[in-house]
Chains A and B, each alone.
Chain A
Amino acid sequence: MTAPLLELRNLSTHYVSASGTRVVRAVDDVSLTMNARDTLGIVGESGSGKSTLALTMLRVLPPAARIVGGQMLLEGEDLVAKSEEEMRKVRGKRIAMILQDPMASLNPLFSIGDQVGEPLRQHEGASRASAWKKAIGLLKAVRIPAPESRVTQYPHEMSGGMRQRIVGAIGISCEPRLLIADEPTTSLDLTIQAQYLNLLRDLQQDYGLGLIFITHNLGIVAKMCNLLAVMYAGRVVESGPVSTVFNAPAHPYTAALLHSIPRMTERRERLSAIDGQPPDMSALPKGCAFAARCPRVFDRCRQEEPPVFTPSPGQTARCWLAEGTR
C-alpha cells in the first residue's frame, strides 16, 4: 500500500510572545490523514487555529510561531524535517495555496500571463515565452473566455469572479498534489461562488488533486468535502467522513454547530445557539476547552482533558462522551 497523500501526526504549532511569557497553542496535537482525490474540510471559528494549520502545512509561519512537535508526511516525506531550501521546492510545486482575497493575491503591476506563469518559471525553469503559452492553457482550464487576450491584461481589468479563477490557475500551474483553499469564497456572490466551487471540483477530478478547504462554512463542507475535521481552541475535536459526522456527530461542539445553521426549508422557531464566547487561547482552562460552553458537560470534563476516541471507523472525537468506544 502506498503512503497517503498527507498525514499529520501530532502536529503542534505554538505562538510565543516576545517576552516568552505567553504561549498560544494555536495548533495542538493535530493528527489527520487524507489521500489523493480526497477533499478535506477543516472547519472552525475565528481563533480556532485553522488558518495557522494551513500556514504550518506550507511552513510559511509568522516569526513568532514555531512548529514545536509532530510530523507532516507528504507522500511519506516529512516536511517538518526539510530545510528551508527544500521547502521552497515543495511550495507552489507540490502543495499550492489559494488565499482568501483574490484582489490581494494578485500583484496589480504585472500582467495575468506573468503572474500565472511565474510558478512555472520558478520551479520548472520555463522561459517567459513558454510560461505564457502554458498560462493560456491554464486560463482555459479555469474556463476564462478568450484566454489569448486575457494574458496581456492586468488584474484591475477583471471582475471579482475572474480574479478568483486566475488565483486558481496560479494554484494549479505546477500541477500540485495538494491544493489548500483558505476561505476561498467568502467575498464572492452566490452564483459566482457556485461557479467557482464547481470549477475546483472539476480541476480536482482532472488533475487528481487532494483538496483542503479551510472554512467556517459548514455548507461548503456539505457540498464539496468527503472528509471533515472540526477545530476548536487549536485542537481537532472531531474528524471523520462527512456523512458520518453530519449524521451522527460525536462531539457536542460539532452537534451544536450543525444545529445552529438556519435551514431554508423547515421552519424552526429558534436556532440552538452555543452560549458564551470562544475561550482565550493564551489562558485555556484545565480539562476540555469546550467545557464552559458545552450543553452536556459533566465533572470529569473540567478536570481531565479528553484523549482521542474512535466512536466509529474513521471517526475520531476528543470527548469523554465517546469514551468506551475506543
Chain B
Amino acid sequence: MSVVLEVDRVSKHFQARSGFFGGDRRVVRAVDNVSFSIEEGTSLGVVGESGCGKSTTAKLVLGLEDPSAGAIRFEGKDLVGMDAAGRRHYRKSVQAVFQDPYASLSPRMRIGAIIAEPLITNEKHSADTVRARVLEMLDLVGLPARSADLFPHEFSGGQRQRIAIARALALSPRLIVLDEPVSALDVSIRAQILNLLRDVQDRLGVSYLFIAHDLAAVAHMSQTIIVMYLGKIVESGEARALARTPMHPYTAALFSASLPDHPDDRREEIILSGEVPSPMNPPTGCHFHPRCPRAMARCAQEAPTLREIDGRRVACHLFD
C-alpha cells in the first residue's frame, strides 16, 4: 500500500504576546515534533483533550497553517517548496469535513452551488458536467436530486453533514480531514454518518484523518490511533490494541474515562487529578508528569522520546 500523506517531525509554534507593550513574548508549541503517515484507503485517528494540538494538526494538513519546522509530504513530495501546479494538485486532493453542520455550509448558497464550488474553482467543466457531478455526489451520500436547488436551512443537521461530505468528495480527493464530523449530531444520526463515511471509503479508496474526542467512534473508524497531549504524541498504534491495552498512563486514563457502552462494563477507573495545563506554560520534562499516577522523579526533568515498543510508539520513561 502506498503512503498518501507523511507528516515528518512537524512543529507549529505560535508567538503569544503578553505584557503592556506585547514585549513579553512566549512561544506556544501547539504541535511539537509530530510524525505520522496515512496509507491509501485507511483511516488515522487522532484523539486528545483540548489544547492537545489535534485541531492545529488538521489545519497544518489542510494547508491552512504552515509548519514552523518539519515536512509534510504528499505522495512523496514536500509541500514547502512545491511549485504552483503541485500546490493545485494538493488542494484538489485534500478536502475537509468539519464539526458544525450549521456553520460549514454557506447560508446563502444553494446546495448545488455549494457542492460544485471546489469543482468550478479547480477545474474547467461545462455546466452540464458540473450538474451531473453534483447529482452523482448527492446520490452517493443518499440525498434526493432535488436537494441541489434548496438552501442549507431546509436541511437537518445530519443531512447537512451529508452535503458537506458530498462537497468534500466532488473533486475525488485522496485524503479527507474529518474534524469531529459527528459530535454535533444526534445519536441515531451519528451511526448513519459513520456508516456513510465507511461506505465511501470502501467504494472510493479515500483516506481519512479522523479527529474526534469520542474515542469509541475513532476506534471504530480507524486502523491506527494517535494519542496527543499538549502538542506531542504520547502514544500511537493499531487502534484496537491501543484501546484494549494502552501503554502510556495518559492513554490508559483517557480510555478509562471514556463512557462505557453497557452498565455491566465495569472498567478500572483511573481518575486523573487536575486539568490539562495551559499550552502557554507547559510543565517541564514529560508534560503529563504532574497528573500522572505513575510519575517518577525523572519525569519532571527529562522529556521522554517516542520509541518503538511491540509495534507501537510510546513516549514514557516507564518503558525505557
**A, B assembled together:** yes
A-to-B contact residues, CB < 8 Å: 45-46, 159-162, 189-195, 198, 216-223, 242-243, 246, 256-257, 260-265, 267-275, 277-278
**Do B191 and A264 have beta carbons less than 8 Å apart?**
no
Least CB separation from B156: chain A residue? A277
Query: Could you tell me if A198 and B271 are in contact, using CB atoms closer than 8 angstroms?
Result: yes
Contacting residues, chain B, for A242 (C-beta < 8 A): 263
A270 to B191, CA, bound (A): 9
In the assembly, what is the distance between CA of A177 and CA of B255, in Å? 33
Known: A159-B275, A273-B195, A277-B158. A222 touches B216 (CB 8 A): no
State the majority secondary structure of interface residues on B: helix
A265 in complex: contacting residue of B240, B254, B269, B271, CB < 8 Å: B240
B49, B219, B262: the one within 8 Å of A191 (CB): B49
B201, chain A: closest CB distance, angstroms: 12
Interface contact B257-A260, CB-CB below 8 Å = no
Expressed in whole angstroms, the minimum distance between the Cβ of B268 and any Cβ of chain A is 12
Given contacts A189-B213, A190-B213, A195-B271, contact A222 B265 (CB under 8 A): yes
The A-contacting residues of B in range 188-212, CB under 8 angstroms, are 188-192, 194-195, 198
A158 to chain B, nearest CB (A): 10
Check B198 against A270 for contact (C-beta < 8 Å): yes
A218 partner residues in chain B, CB cutoff 8 A: 187, 261
Question: Does B186 reach chain A (CB closer than 8 Å)?
Answer: yes
Decide if B217 is an interface residue (CB 8 Å cutoff).
Answer: yes
Distance in angstroms from B56 CB to nearest chain A CB is: 16
Collect the chain A residues with CB atoms within 8 Å of residue B191's CB. 260-262, 271-274
Taking a contact as CB atoms closer than 8 A, the residue among B49, B192, B263, B264 that contacts A275 in the complex is B192
Let me know if B260 is at the binding interface, CB within 8 A.
yes
CA distance A193 to B215 in the complex (A): 14
Check B276 for interface membership: any CB of A closer than 8 A: yes
Q: Is the CB of B259 within 8 A of A256?
A: no
Q: Does B50 contact A (CB under 8 A)?
A: yes
Query: In the complex the two chains form, is B216's CB within 8 Å of A191's CB?
Result: no
Residues on A with beta carbons closer than 8 Å to the beta carbon of B156: 277
Q: A190-B254, A262-B216 are in contact. Are A222 and B49 (CB under 8 A)?
A: no
Residues of B within 8 A of A257 (CB): 187-188
The residue of chain A having its C-beta at the shortest distance from the C-beta of B276 within the complex is A189
A271 touches B275 (CB 8 A): no
Minimum CB–CB distance from B278 to chain A (whole Å) comes to 9
- For the complex formed, measure the closest distance between the CB of B199 and the CB atoms of chain A, giving whole angstroms: 8
Chain A residue at minimal CB-CB distance from B194:
A271
What are 12 A-B pairs at a CB distance below 8 A? A189-B276, A217-B259, A218-B187, A219-B260, A222-B260, A222-B262, A223-B263, A262-B221, A263-B261, A264-B243, A264-B261, A265-B243
A261 in contact with B261 given A46-B186, A271-B191, A273-B188 (CB within 8 Å): yes
- Whether B260 and A190, one on each chain, are in contact in the complex, defined by CB atoms closer than 8 angstroms, is no
Name the contact of B259 in the complex, choosing from A195, A223, A275 (C-beta under 8 A). Answer: A223
**A194's contact among B214, B257, B265, by CB below 8 Å, is which?**
B257
Query: Count of chain B residues with Cβ under 8 Å from any Cβ of A?
Result: 45
Q: Which of chain A's residues has its CB closest to B157's CB? A: A46
Chain A residues with CB under 8 Å of B50's CB are: 189
Total of A-B residue pairs, C-beta within 8 Å: 129
Greatest chain B CB density within 10 A among A220, A246, A260, A267 is at: A260
Additional pairs, 20, CB under 8 Å, beyond known A191-B254, A222-B262: A45-B189, A189-B50, A190-B213, A190-B257, A191-B271, A191-B272, A191-B275, A192-B275, A216-B187, A221-B263, A242-B263, A243-B264, A262-B216, A263-B220, A264-B240, A267-B220, A267-B240, A273-B192, A277-B156, A278-B186
Instruction: List A contacts of B261 (CB < 8 A).
Output: 218-219, 222, 261, 263-264
Nearest Cβ distance between residue B318 and chain A, in whole angstroms?
A: 19
Minimum Cβ distance to chain A for residue B288 (Å): 11
Complex Cα spacing A240 to B240, Å: 33
Pair B262/A194 contact, Cβ less than 8 Å: no
Interchain CB contact (< 8 A) of B219 among A162, A192, A262, A277: A262
Interface string of B64-104 (1 = CB under 8 A from A): 00000000000000000000000000000000000000000
Known: A261-B187, A264-B219, A267-B240. A243 touches B158 (CB 8 A): no
User: Which of B240, B263, B275: most chain A Cβ within 10 A?
Assistant: B263
Q: Which residue of A lies closest to B265 (CB)?
A: A222
Decide if A194 touches B256 in the complex (CB within 8 Å): yes
Interface residues of B in 241-262 (CB under 8 A from A): 243-244, 253-262
- Whether A256 and B216, one on each chain, are in contact in the complex, defined by CB atoms closer than 8 angstroms, is no
- Which B residues are in CB contact (< 8 Å) with A160? 275
Which residues of chain B are near A216, meaning CB under 8 Å?
A: 186-187
Q: By the criterion CB–CB under 8 Å, are A262 and B271 in contact?
A: no
Instruction: Assess the B220–A271 pair: CB atoms within 8 A.
Output: yes
Assembled-state Cα–Cα distance A269/B240 (Å):
13
A-side contacts of B215, CB under 8 Å: 190, 264
CA distance A239 to B154 in the complex (A): 34
Closest-CB distance, B176 to chain A (whole angstroms): 19
CB distance B269 to A194 under 8 Å?
yes
* A45-B186 in contact (CB<8A): yes
Cβ–Cβ < 8 Å partners of B244 in chain A: 265
Residue of A159, A219, A267 touching B258 (CB-CB under 8 A): A219
Q: Which of A194, A261, A269 contacts B216 (CB 8 A)?
A: A261
